[in-house]
Structure 1
Amino acid sequence: MTFEENLTRLNDIVGQLENDKLHLEKALALYKEGIDLSVDCKKSLESAKLSVKAMNGDNSDE
């Protein structure tokens, strides 16, 4: 999935966890999916950051 799709799904999960009366098993499954999506989003952002730095000729690790 794309970064935007992952972020949309993550927002959906947060909404469900905040607003719905979920069974424990469903809440835990959604939480795990959310954690996995957040890791994927972070990786995508880090990759984009490195690409921008490379395009700008910046090799420092800030």
Structure 2
Amino acid sequence: MASRHQKLVSDGSIRIENNRGVVTRDIAFTSPSAAAAIVLGTSANGRARWVNDEGQNYGAWEENNNS
């Protein structure tokens, strides 16, 4: 995870802002947690760690949009 994270930061696919990873292009991942782990460079729960511009995490967004 850490090496893929570093590669994506180096090529500009992930930008670090205020200690947060910001994805700058579309990148395919197998799950929200896999995506969060690569963006952060460590294990992560994607449902809790992915946050939209309104501050809502992915789990809450998914719950609101599937009901």
TM class, shorter-length? under 0.3
Bigger Rg, which one: 1
Could you tell me the TM-score, scaled by structure 1's length?
Answer: 0.27
Higher strand share: 2
Higher helix share: 1
**1 or 2 for the larger relative contact order (CA 8 Å, sep ≥6)?**
1
Could you tell me the TM-score, scaled by structure 2's length?
Answer: 0.25
